Structure 1
Amino acid sequence: MLRAMKRVDFYHLLQWPLEQALPPLLGKVLDSGQRAVVLTSSRPRAEALSAVLWTFKPEAWLPHGTPGDGFDADQPVWISDTDDRPNGAGILLLTDGMTSQRLAEYDRCLDLFDGRDDSAVQAARQRWVGCRDAGFELHYWQQTERGGWTEKASANTTSGG
Structure 2
Amino acid sequence: MTKVSFYILGSTDPLDRQQFACRLAEKAYLQGHQVFIHTEDQDQSEAMDKALWAFRPDSFVPHQVLATDNKIEAPVLISHENIAPPKLMDVLINLNPVQPLFFSQFERLAEIINGDEAIKKQGRVRYQFYKDRGYHLDTHQINN
Q: Is this a same-fold pair by TM over 0.5?
A: yes
Where 2:110 maps in the other structure, the secondary structure is strand
Where 2:112 maps in the other structure, the secondary structure is strand
Structure 2 partner of 1:99: 99
The answer to whether the aligner puts 1:135 opposite 2:131 as a matched pair is: no
Q: Which runs of no fewer than 5 residues in structure 1 stay unpaired?
A: 148-161
Counterparts of 1:104 and 1:19 in 2: how far apart (Å)? Answer: 23
Alignment TM-score, normalising by the size of structure 1: 0.79
Q: Which runs of no fewer than 5 residues in structure 2 stay unpaired?
A: none
- Map 1:29-108; keep pairs closer than 5 Å: 29-68=28-67, 70-72=70-72, 74-83=73-82, 84-108=84-108
Q: Which one of 1, 7, 11 corresponds to residue 3 of structure 2? A: 7
Q: Assess if the C-alpha contact under 8 Å between 1:67 and 1:80 holds in 2.
A: yes
* Residue-by-residue CA offset, 1:24-62 (whole Å, 9 max, x unaligned): 111111122110110001112101110000111222221
Taking only the aligned residue pairs, the percentage that are identical comes to: 24
- Map 1:115-126; keep pairs closer than 5 Å: 115=115, 117-126=116-125
Alignment TM-score, normalising by the size of structure 2: 0.88
Counterparts of 1:108 and 1:67 in 2: how far apart (Å)? Answer: 20
- Tell me which structure has the larger Cα radius of gyration: 1
Shift of 1:123: 1.4
Shift of 1:97: 1.8
Counterparts of 1:61 and 1:32 in 2: how far apart (Å)? Answer: 14
Relative contact order (alpha carbons < 8 A, sep ≥ 6): 1 or 2 greater?
2
Shift of 1:120: 1.2
Where 2:47 maps in the other structure, the secondary structure is helix
Structure 2 partner of 1:151: none
Shift of 1:105: 0.6
Counterparts of 1:102 and 1:96 in 2: how far apart (Å)? Answer: 13
RMSD (Å), alpha carbons = 1.7
